[in-house]
Structure 1
Amino acid sequence: MVTTPRSVWRNPIHFLAFGLGSGAVPKAPGTFGTLAGLLIYLCLPAMSPMSYVAFIAVMLLLGIWLCGKTADDIGVHDHGGIVWDEFVGIWLTLWLIPEGWLWLCLAFVLFRIFDIAKPWPIGWLDRKLGGGLGIMMDDVLAGAFAWICLQVLALFI
């Protein structure tokens, strides 16, 4: 277990990168970060599909900077507590899914499976890319894989 740097509670950039503090939990910070991202999603205003894509794109670009800066500042690349990438990954997973708690739960579970298991090419990308881009992209790809699975399920359910 890697300890949470104190700067998370003092530096607004680190606080955001640590998912508003959700990544500071001692066990399973990625899971708690994903849960926090899901809760934020539930509070978002209604958006058109293209507005939501723009929102995700802006949050991705912000995340590349936030996560890269925080990793550099604390001297740990992809510290387990940096969970802004989980926020963006779950938000991507939730794009255009059917309404209802079943779909939210399926999105959460599928995203966590892909994020943890890191099947090819997610794991490869995770190893090859550095900096904020590297921190973000494996979760974006995990979110895309989970989204594809949900869209296929939606065709049959």
Structure 2
Amino acid sequence: MKTLSNSTLQHRPPIKPTASFMLSHPAHLIALGFGSGLAPKAPGTIGSLWGWVSWLLIQQHLTLTAQAVLIGLAFTVGWWSCTVTARHMGVSDPGSIVWDEVVAMWLILSLIMPCSFAGQFAAFVLFRFFDAVKPGPVAWADQLFKGFGWQGGFGIIFDDLVAAFCTLLCIAIWRFF
């Protein structure tokens, strides 16, 4: 497998992801949300939906401990895959990388389930609001880690974790009152 140097990345145009790009490296497959990031419009929303649906299937077969381990592994593997894929695409935080949305939705749903469809939908809408609009702490988190390399890959995921925290905070306040 060919590795691209930083100087090569700086002198070529960014890559628009395709199915063949996604299948060319395991990191691409993960970072692009197993194809959900290839959506021509709103890939972050499609990735979040994929995260929601996949969690509904996953959580039925795992204990709470196994769910926590899975989310931890998904974060760690996602950090690597987002780092590699962003570097290969030549874009520090491409919209087609949606693994960050998937992991954030898994985290949110793991903490609010069991929950009605309306509650799950409210969590989805809140998360999409925080992730897309990036108010306050989410904007701060989005600017904190930029570029290529480990910090850029972490930054791709970090702002979505902050958006997940904001979502969970709103849900907790809503449930309290």
The alignment's TM-score, normalised by the length of structure 2, stands at 0.80
* SS across alignment from 1:94: helix
**For 2:172, which of 140, 143, 151 is the aligned residue?**
151
* Cα separation, partners in 2 of 1:132 and 1:90, compared to 1, 3 Å: same
Cα distance, 1:114 vs. partner?
0.5
2:53 is aligned with what amino acid? L
Q: Which runs of 5+ in 2 are unaligned?
A: 1-14, 147-151
> Which runs of at least 4 in structure 1 moved beyond 3 Å after TM superposition?
none
Residue number in structure 1 paired with 2:106: 91
**Shift in CA distance, 46/150, structure 1 to aligned 2, threshold 3 Å:** farther
Once the two structures are TM-superposed, the CA of residue 132 in structure 1 deviates from its matched residue by: 0.6
Q: Find the counterpart in structure 2 of residue 32 from structure 1.
A: 46
Work out which of the residue numbers 110, 119, 128 in structure 2 matches 1:103. Answer: 119
Deviation at 1:58, TM superposition (A): 1.6
- How much has 1:128 moved relative to structure 2? 2.0
Structure 1 length-normalised TM:
0.90
Residue 23 of structure 1 contacts residue 33 of structure 1 at CA under 8 Å; is this kept in 2?
A: yes
Greater Rg over alpha carbons, structure: 2
> What letter corresponds to residue 32 of structure 2 in structure 1?
F
| 1:96 to partner: Cα distance | 2.6
Query: Could you tell me which of 83, 103, 117 is aligned with 2:133?
Result: 117
- Partners of 1:51 and 1:8 lie apart in 2 by 28
Pair 1:82 & 2:82 matched? no
Tell me, in whole angstroms, the C-alpha distance in 2 between the residues paired with 1:155 and 1:124: 27
- 8 Å contact from structure 1 (residues 67, 132) kept in 2: yes
Q: Percent identity?
A: 40
- Does residue 11 of structure 1 match 2:32? no
Instruction: Give the 3-state SS of the residue equivalent to 1:80 in structure 2.
Output: coil
Which digits, 9 at most, give the CA deviation of each residue in 1:24-72, with x for residues without a partner?
Answer: 0111000000000001101112422x44333222211111111001001
> d(CA) in 2 for partners of 1:121 and 1:154?
22
